[in-house]
Amino acid sequence: MHAAAQGDSHSILRINQLVRDIESRPTPKRNEARIPTKPGLREKKRLENIAFQIQTMYRHPDVEPILSRPRLSVAGQRQVPKLVNARGVPFLRIKKPQPQNLSRIIRYKLRFKDKLIERRDRLLVETLFAKDEEDWDRLLTGQTLTEKVIHAQNHLAWVEGTWLESPLECYKKAYYDNIEFEKKQQALAEKMWEVILAERKLAAEEEAKKSGLSDGFWRPPLIGVWKSLIRTLRAKLFA
**pLDDT tens digits for range 37-81:** 777 888 888 888 888 888 888 887 877 888 888 888 888 788 888
Residues 6+ positions from 105 with CB-CB distance below 8 Å:
91
Spatial distance between the Cα atoms of 136 and 12, rounded to a whole number of angstroms: 103
Return the pLDDT at 113: 94
Kindly state the DSSP code that residue 182 receives in the 8-state scheme: H
Residue 173: closest CA among 125, 131, 119, 133: 119
The parts of the chain modelled with pLDDT lower than 50 are 214
Q: Residues 166, 122: contact at Cβ < 8 Å? A: no
Cα separation values, 101 from 43, 54, 81, 214, Å: 23, 10, 17, 39
- Beta-carbon count within 10 A of 162 CB: 17
Return the pLDDT at 75: 81
